[in-house]
Amino acid sequence: MGRYWGIMARPSWSSVPAARSSLPILRIRLWLVLGSLLLTASIGLFSALAWILDEPPTVDFSDARPLAEGHALAIADAWLNGRATSLPVAEGVDPQFNESASGGLYITIKSISPLRWTRSLVTGRTLETQYILVDGLEGDFVVALPFVFTSTGSGRVPVLAAYPTLLPPDPTLPTEALEYQDVELLSEDPAPSEVQIRLEQWGKAYAANDGATLRDLADDTGALAEQYQGLGNMTLVGPPSIRAVVTTSTGLVLRVRFSLLPNGAPSGLTMDLDVLVTEQNSTKPRIVAWGPPGSGPALRVFQNRR
């Protein structure tokens, strides 16, 4: 065994030149490896600097699939027809949501189909707003439904965050959906009485599609009455109910609940809207923008002008 190991370990003179001739190749390979490492480190350094100097990265939902579309279609159909739904709702939405079979919109609905949706991450929670197009025999309109998501053993479940919202057939939709406060928390500071009076005037004009009054309540002197659109053929029932009040740099953002009655119908339905009010401490507050629940902080003055 000793002789065998010694024979295997003894170098052959004929192999030395071959070993020397391979040194340049080894040097080339070493420089290639070092160059690759240096290039990778440089790219990483430049990327880190760009990330630090640039805006923080945001979540891109452009290729995502809507998670609450099925829930939105089922709830919109039940809400418009005055039927109960067993789908989960958030605090602030009646657990027996629109249970009365005598409620609803009282129109002939030919089809209900998805129109568009938005999704945002706010304070670690996902808010998704579904816009449903309703083709009715008496006219078309849009239903907006906001959802938040809860985690269960089987995955995330869409939960209706507020009452649905009725919008005109071609609404001015917000570019993003933003959750503010906890869903449906009542504010400790009620809005001024002048704001509540103006909200009731606005609700009547929105239900009746009184564009002139909507324009005047916004004090949008540069618009025509035709540039403001409501629902039409409806009546506001009772004073609106303010569900949340948030002060922003633009004005006062309100979550408001309205009860509407289709003309000639024995009963109606309830909806939520976010409303932006400016000059809220004056004798004539201005209602300058509105949108579905969750859109409040994204509302901009006169954004509903067509």
Q: Per-domain residue ranges for the chain? A: 69-167, 193-298
19 has pLDDT over 50: no
More confidently predicted of 35 and 184? 35
Do 292 and 275 touch, CB atoms closer than 8 A? Answer: no
Same fold, 69-167 and 193-298: yes
109 has pLDDT over 70: yes
pLDDT, residue 131, reads 95
Least confident of 104-113, 158-167, 185-194: 185-194
Yes or no: is domain 69-167 CATH 3.10.450? Answer: yes
pLDDT, residue 186, reads 52
- Give the pLDDT confidence of 191-200 residue by residue, as tens digits: 888 999 999 9
Give the pair of three-digit tokens for residue 85: 């739904």
Work out the mean pLDDT of the chain and round it to a whole number.
Answer: 78
Q: What's the pLDDT band for 145 if we cut at 50, 70, 90?
A: very high
Question: What span, in angstroms and rounded, lies between the C-alpha atoms of 240 and 291?
Answer: 16
Q: Indicate the burial class of 227 (C-beta count within 10 angstroms; 0-12, 13-18, 19 or more).
A: middle
Percentages helix, strand, coil for the chain, rounded to the nearest 5?
30, 30, 40
Question: Look-up: residue for tokens 């609940």?
Answer: 257
- Give the pLDDT confidence of 185-226 residue by residue, as tens digits: 555 557 888 999 999 999 999 999 999 999 999 999 999 999
261 has pLDDT over 50: yes
- Give the pLDDT confidence of 68-93 residue by residue, as tens digits: 999 999 999 999 998 888 888 887 78
106 has pLDDT over 50: yes
Average pLDDT of the segment spanning 282-295? 92
Instruction: Find all residues with CB under 8 Å of 127, minimum gap 6, and list them.
Output: 119, 120, 121, 146, 147, 148, 161, 177, 178, 179, 294
The percent of residues above 70 in pLDDT, for the chain, comes to: 71
Give the dihedral of Cα atoms 275, 276, 278, 282; nearest 10 deg.
20
Average pLDDT of the segment spanning 101-120? 86
pLDDT, residue 23, reads 58
Do 160 and 89 touch, CB atoms closer than 8 A? Answer: yes
103 has pLDDT over 60: yes
| CATH code linked to domain 193-298 | 3.10.450.540
Do 301 and 250 touch, CB atoms closer than 8 A? Answer: yes
- Give the pLDDT confidence of 22-73 residue by residue, as tens digits: 556 656 665 665 666 555 555 454 444 344 444 444 444 444 678 899 999 9
158 has pLDDT over 70: yes
Question: What span, in angstroms and rounded, lies between the C-alpha atoms of 272 and 292?
Answer: 7
